Chains A and B, each alone.
Chain A
Amino acid sequence: MLGEIVKGLRTTFKYLFKKPVTVQYPEVKRPVRERFRGRHELKRFENGMERCIGCALCAAACPADAILVIPGENDPAHPNSPGERYAATYEINMLRCIFCGYCEDACPTNAIVLEHQYELAYYDRKSAIYTKEMLLVPPDKGHGEIPPILQELNRRPSPPAQIDL
């Protein structure tokens, strides 16, 4: 009987001298994997134009009905996106969103991408609704067909669309 208890204690005693496996979270952050599905971003082309063409396919694919897209007609003199239409309103309700990534799978232009940020918290419901301004990356952060982080890693679940401007 005592032998079994000593056997157990020996197992736990071993760990006294090992480094803990835990991470001190707010100070130290565990790196996420590249497929991680976090907060969305609306991407741009290299020339700064918005990728989103307002087709609302993401809204149709969303199982949680978290996305609102209201398309608008592009002004030919100052187009927001290549093609005829763009998203005049683009909102994601982060309280509804379940981060399933269906919107990313459905988007034909790879405009909406789930990125790696996961620390989302709000004081009220209103601020949980992310508007287009919050989701859209700055104009100088546009990129070619493959987002920069994924170019480096060269691994992406679905290959990006080839779009001729």
Chain B
Amino acid sequence: MTAVADPPTVAAYPYTVPSPQEITRPALAGGRDTMVLNMGPHHPSTHGVLRLVVELDGETVVNVAPDIGFLHTGVEKTMESKTYQKAVVLTDRMDYLAPLSNNLSYVLAVEKLLSCVVPPRAQIARVVLTELQRIASHLVWLGSHALDLSAMSVFLYAFREREQILDIFELVSGARLMTSYFRVGGLAYDLPDDFTPTVEAFLDIMPGAADEYEALLSGNPVWLERTVDVGVIDADAAIAFGVSGPMLRAAGIPWDLRKDMPYSSYELFDFDIPIAKKGDIYDRYLVRMAEIRESVKICRQGLQRLKDLGPGPFTTTDRKISPPPKTEITHSMESLIHHFKLWTEGFKPPIGDAYVGIESPRGELGTYIVSDGSPKPYRVHFRAPSFVNLQALPHAAKGRLMADLVALIASMDPVLGDVDR
């Protein structure tokens, strides 16, 4: 019998993501002196239905593999059977902590396909609302992150402020979470009269509230112990895994699509991109807290711009894309035809494809649409930031304690609806 040669050893590439089987198979074969633990899918600190297969040596994590797919909703496939306008409601349901960002990414891609011009009022309103959405999303992250590390008060305070943002969403769109407020061509309805005062009232309290969270966390020895130098994803690793958003900026790379590839008139706004150095959990906390303050700044500028612009159209006047106002349809036969045509058949973008990436609270949220010239998309794909960022988890967790894994997941802020779509 000839001896089987060992397979050639590949120089170990450090940035790999193990599959669950890679951990469970040798463990089941009994070859290793480690324990395999299933964390999730029903674990309170996996932020949804994430399953982690963790290989433990005592308390130390030897290896960990994320197993996803428990929240697969088939949003991308379902969109292929909906007209472009109707598919907007599906985007709400992907990253359910940032529905307006999803709306924006999708409608921008469709608008790019159609080469549709969005009126400035709608563009500014989109900026203000997505920045509010960023604050709301970061508040959920902050609250649940602190809760995972046993700081309960922060959770209660963060949700108190988030409630006000959801109330603003209800004011403009009629729904707190599933807004569907951005439609192809502009907004679904005009901003209400009391939009500006309500948002201003919120912006006045938000910086003070952020001070309050920081008073509870920033210098707190327990918080520092659990976060500083824990779960480090440095710049090299972040780039290798394709990480984006606050996690990338915490590693010291000032990459933000709002600045680097501006969309929806972000180029008109004056704001900074907060970055940190090390890329540990504490840095991510600092970056996100600074982002909340920057978003408040952007919202204020946005409100000023809305005031300067005055009332105006909130959606494109192209009747082939956006339905006419209902006052028109009883007087004008043409408007009535457009109304019926758009609500039954929808519009037909030209054959082609379009990709638009936006900076969602979690990172680059991209929408890629292929059109075959019919009123329904041929294919829609989302580049979901949660999915990509999650790939860096095993790299950051290896060699650390099991308890650090909990802090690490929380600091990555994954939304499982976004991971699986």
Contacts and interface: CB of A to CB of B under 8 A. Distances in A.
A160 B340 CA distance: 16
B339 A8 contact: no
Given A61-B86, A63-B90, A161-B329, A37 B221 contact: no
Contacts, number: 102
A35 B172 contact: yes
Contacts of A160: 326-327
Interface residues of B, number: 41
Interface in B180-195: 180, 188-190, 192-193
Contact of B215 (A7, A63, A100, A158): A7
Which applies to chain B's interface (DSSP): helix, strand, loop or mixed? helix
B318 interface: no
B242 interface: no
Interface string A1-41: 10011011011100000000100000000001101110000
Interface string A38-63: 00000000000000000001001101
Nearest to A62: B86
A73 interface: no
Given A57-B344, A108-B336, A159-B326, A35 B171 contact: yes
A162 B217 CA distance: 57
Interface in A92-135: 98-102, 105-106, 108, 110, 114
Given A35-B174, A155-B192, A157-B190, 11 more contacts: A1-B221, A35-B171, A37-B174, A57-B344, A60-B343, A105-B188, A110-B326, A157-B174, A159-B326, A161-B330, A163-B330
15 contacts: A35-B172, A63-B87, A63-B89, A63-B90, A101-B180, A101-B188, A106-B323, A108-B326, A108-B340, A114-B174, A155-B193, A157-B188, A160-B326, A160-B327, A162-B327
Interface of B: 82, 86-87, 89-90, 153, 160, 163, 167, 170-175, 178, 180, 188-190, 192-193, 212, 215-217, 219-221, 323, 325-327, 329-331, 336, 339-340, 343-344
